[in-house]
Structure 1
Amino acid sequence: MRIDFTKMHGLGNDFVVLDGRDQSLPRMDASLAAALADRRTGIGCDQLIVLEPSLAADLRMRIFNCDGSEVEACGNATRAVGLLVGRAISIETVAGLLSASPCEAGISVEMGKPRFDWNAIPLAYPMDTHAMPVAWEELVNPIAVNVGNPHAIFFVEDPYAIAMERLGPLVENDPIFPERINVNVAAITARDAITLRVWERGAGLTRACGTGACATAIGAMKRGLVDRRVRVTLPGGPLVIEWREDEVIVMTGPATESFRGSFEVGDFGPQQ
C-alpha cells in the first residue's frame, strides 16, 4: 500500500499529514506513528496528523506525537490543516470542534474555551490551579490550564536559562499529572508580549507549540500580567493570541507546506 503525505510546519513545529478523505490509510497505531515520525529511519516530524471524514465537521483530525502517543489538540497542526484545505473549515478533534480560516497574517484558529478546574487539567488531587503549591527546583507555583490539552505554565525571568532538557521530563512525568503535562516556561516582556519555550508532552522541546502559546497567554491574562491580546514569541517565531470576551481563544500565525511525497506502508509496519 503506497500512501501520499504532505510535510508541513508551523514556525518549525513540523508535521507529516496523511489525508484519509481521498485515500485509504492503514490503521494507525503507536508503533506505526512513531516509525513514520522517526527522523533517521522514517519521514521525520514532531507530530503525525491523520485527516478523516467527519459527520460533525468538514473533517476529523487525529494527532500522534513522535513517541506514538495520541493527543487531543495541536494548535500549529490546526493552522497547517487550514492551509492545506485552503478555505475556512471546521475541524473535529478529541478536544472538540475547532475552526480555521485564512487571513492576512496566515491562518486564524478558534481554539475554544480554556478550563481551569483541577479535574479538567487533570491533576491527581484537588488544588488551586491558579498558583499550584508545588515546585521542581527553580520552577515554582505554576498555573495549570487545559486548552484542549493540559499545560503547566511557569513565569520566570529568562526562559533560556532554564534547563528544559532536564526539568521538562521531570515535570511532564510527575505523578501529580496522571495524563502527563506540557511544560511552559515564559517571561513577560511587555503588557502585550511574552517570550516562551515549551517542553511538549511526548515530543520534547519543539521550536513552537500553538496550544502552549495559548495556554501561556491565558495564564498570564488570568494573573493580570498582560492584556487580552498578546504576541507570544517562541524559538520558531511569533504567534498572536487573543482571549475574546466570549472566552474563546483565537490564535493567529503562519503555516508552511514543505514538500509532498509517498511511502510504502510495508517499509514501516505490517501491511494492513
Structure 2
Amino acid sequence: MIHFWKYQGAGNDFIMIDDRDATFDINDHEKVAFLCHRRFGVGGDGLILIRLKEGYDFEMVYFNADGHVGTMCGNGGRCAVRFAHTLGLFDTTTSFWAADGAHEATLDEQQLVHLKMNPPGEIEINADHYFMDTGSPHYVRFEKDLDNFDCVTEGKAIRYNERFAKEGTNVNFAQVTGSQSLSVRTYERGVEDETYACGTGVTAC
C-alpha cells in the first residue's frame, strides 16, 4: 500500500509521498509512470518524494510523469514546501535540497509559498529563440497569438529535433500581454504534452 497526497500548483498536479524512511525505490520507473498515468494510476504531471537531507529541512526528489527522475520543477517545489510544512519539517522559513541544489522558501500569513529560484545558467540568444537552464532546460520563443497556437505540435517538433532529442528540453511559447505581463504555454519533456503551468518555464521567460 502506498500512502500519498495530491497537490497542485497553478494547475501543475503532483503525487506527493512522505519518504523520510527512504523506502520508495527511485529506480522503479514503471511504478512511477503507472502512478502518474491519468487512466490507470492516480494521475499527475509528476511525483515528488520528501526525504531527509543532512544540513537541510528536507530533500525534494522529483520524477517526471514518464517515471524518470527529473530536474527542478518550480510548481513542484512550491507543493513540496507546502507538503513539508504539513509534515512539520519547518515553521515559516525553510532551506531544502532539490535537483539543482539548495533552495529557500517561506510561507506567508495566508499560507502561500514564496520560493526562491536559483539564478539561470548561461543564456543562449538566437535570432528567433532563447535557451537557458533555470533548474531545468528551457527553449523560449515569443509568438503573437497564443490563443490560436498549436503548442503540442510545435513543442514536440522542437523537443525532438536533432539538437534536443537525446536529453530533451522543455519548450515555452510566450506572448507579451502588457507592460508587466506575459502569457506562456509550455510543452514539458517527461510529460510529453502541454501542461497547465510550468514554474521553471515562466522563470525562463
Amino acid at match of 1:34: A
Find out whether 1:205 has 2:194 as its counterpart.
yes
Amino acid at match of 1:211: T
Structure 2 partner of 1:168 = 155
Displacement of 1:31 after TM fit? 1.1
Q: Give me the whole-angstrom Cα distance separating, in 2, the residues matched to 1:94 and 1:11.
A: 21
Q: Which of the residues 130, 133, 144 maps onto 2:125?
A: 130
Alignment of 1:79-228 (within 5 A): 79-86=78-85, 87-103=92-108, 106-116=112-122, 129-131=124-126, 133=127, 141-177=128-164, 178-203=166-191, 204-216=193-205
Structure 1 partner of 2:45 = 46
Amino acid at match of 2:190: G
- Give unpaired runs (5+ residues) of structure 1: 118-128, 134-140, 217-272
Deviations 1:7-28 (A, max 9, x none): 0000111000111115733444
Q: Give me the whole-angstrom Cα distance separating, in 2, the residues matched to 1:27 and 1:48.
A: 11
- Note the aligned Cα RMSD (angstroms): 1.7
Structure having the higher Rg = 1
Return closer, same or farther for 1:24/1:147 CA change in 2, 3 Å cut-off: same
TM-score (norm 1): 0.68
CA contact 2:22–2:51 (8 Å) conserved in 1: no
Structure 1 partner of 2:61 = 62
Identify the structure with bigger relative contact order (alpha carbons < 8 Å, sequence gap 6+): 1
Displacement of 1:72 after TM fit? 1.1
Structure 2 partner of 1:245 = none
- Matched length: 196
Structure 2 partner of 1:225 = none
Q: Give me the whole-angstrom Cα distance separating, in 1, the residues matched to 2:22 and 2:32.
A: 17
Q: Give me the whole-angstrom Cα distance separating, in 1, the residues matched to 2:184 and 2:27.
A: 32
Higher strand proportion: 1
Displacement of 1:99 after TM fit? 1.5
Q: Give me the whole-angstrom Cα distance separating, in 2, the residues matched to 1:208 and 1:190.
A: 19
- Give unpaired runs (5+ residues) of structure 2: 86-91
CA contact 2:50–2:84 (8 Å) conserved in 1: no
Q: Give me the whole-angstrom Cα distance separating, in 2, the residues matched to 1:37 and 1:144.
A: 28
Q: Give me the whole-angstrom Cα distance separating, in 1, the residues matched to 2:122 and 2:109.
A: 32
Return closer, same or farther for 1:181/1:21 CA change in 2, 3 Å cut-off: same
Q: Give me the whole-angstrom Cα distance separating, in 1, the residues matched to 2:186 and 2:58.
A: 28
**Percent identity between the aligned chains?**
31
Deviations 1:33-70 (A, max 9, x none): 10110111111101011111111421111111111122
TM-score (norm 2): 0.89
Q: Give me the whole-angstrom Cα distance separating, in 2, the residues matched to 1:111 and 1:34.
A: 27
What secondary structure does 1:71 align onto? Answer: coil
Deviates more, 1:18-27 or 1:154-163: 18-27
Return closer, same or farther for 1:112/1:130 CA change in 2, 3 Å cut-off: same
